[in-house]
Copies of this chain bind each other. A is one copy, B any other.
Amino acid sequence: MNHIAHAEIDRTPPKHDAAWTIGIAARPAQDAPVKGAREAIFVERETLCEEGARADHIYVIAQGAVMLSKLLPDGRRQIIELLGAGDVFGLSNTALYDSTAESLTAVRAFVYDRRFLETSRELQQAVSQRMTSQMCAMHDHAMLLGRKTAAERVASFLMGLIPHRGGHGCKGPDAKADTQHVAIPMTRQEIADYLGLTLETVSRAFSQLKKDGILTAPRHDEIVVTNVCRLCHLTGAV
């Protein structure tokens, strides 16, 4: 079975292309880092590659958002990485993919043969640079999973969806209002699986943030953070 071929045929217009202008899928679209790629298009909620399948390709996201997840035999799931434009996945130290990749939004991706990575210096360079970035994100996420409270996890998750805020390069609040519109193309269950919580706990944390006047939710999958700075202080990372 060939995921890519399937995706190239199935071009059902994605529901959200426009709505997800902020958040994981906010990064500007990217060109192919290196010649030699096939371009593939996936709709929302499509499996791009599967844990345990032969790891024949590596993927570079051009546009859209992807999640990587792993399953335990008894069904427990952990969502391991949330990826956006420029990010890489499909790399493995064995012959098999170590995780499943699923599109959260419509996705355009460049697909390379695994072998091509061994021969192309350019691709190696592009991949290793991006992997450094993803590794740092994983480090932060390990801290979140190992040591943060439920409220801190949810606050950190939301801050991660707001570009240019919360990091070392945070430019601080705007003069007038410290408000940010965030699209969340994930269910509560997926957020829970990403944060190592249950969906009920995630829901309660959202409710608390609403009660505290930190955010409002016009829709379940779209929130407005009305006080980014206060949210940031709830992440535990201060």
Chain A contact residues, CB within 8 Å of chain B: 68, 70, 72-74, 76-78, 80-81, 91-94, 96, 98-99, 121, 124-125, 127-128, 131-136, 138-143, 145-148, 168, 193, 195-196, 236-238
CB distance from A105 to the nearest CB of B (A): 22
Known: A77-B147, A92-B136, A146-B193. 8 other contacts (CB 8 A): A70-B142, A73-B237, A73-B238, A93-B133, A98-B136, A99-B139, A121-B124, A142-B142
Which of B77, B92, B133, B139 contacts A70 (CB under 8 A)? Answer: B139
Known: A70-B139, A142-B78. A196 touches B147 (CB 8 A): yes
CB distance from A175 to the nearest CB of B (A): 27
Jot down 17 A-B pairs with beta carbons below 8 A, ordered by A.
A70-B139, A70-B140, A70-B142, A72-B147, A72-B148, A77-B147, A80-B143, A92-B132, A92-B136, A96-B168, A99-B139, A121-B121, A121-B124, A128-B128, A134-B135, A135-B135, A145-B145
A168→B94 contact, CB < 8 A: yes
B70→A143 contact, CB < 8 A: yes
B131→A138 contact, CB < 8 A: no
CB distance from A69 to the nearest CB of B (A): 9
Which of B70, B124, B147 contacts A125 (CB under 8 A)? Answer: B124
Report B-chain residues with C-beta under 8 Å of the C-beta of A127: 128
Known: A78-B147, A128-B124. A93 touches B139 (CB 8 A): no
CB distance from A140 to the nearest CB of B (A): 8
Report B-chain residues with C-beta under 8 Å of the C-beta of A195: 146
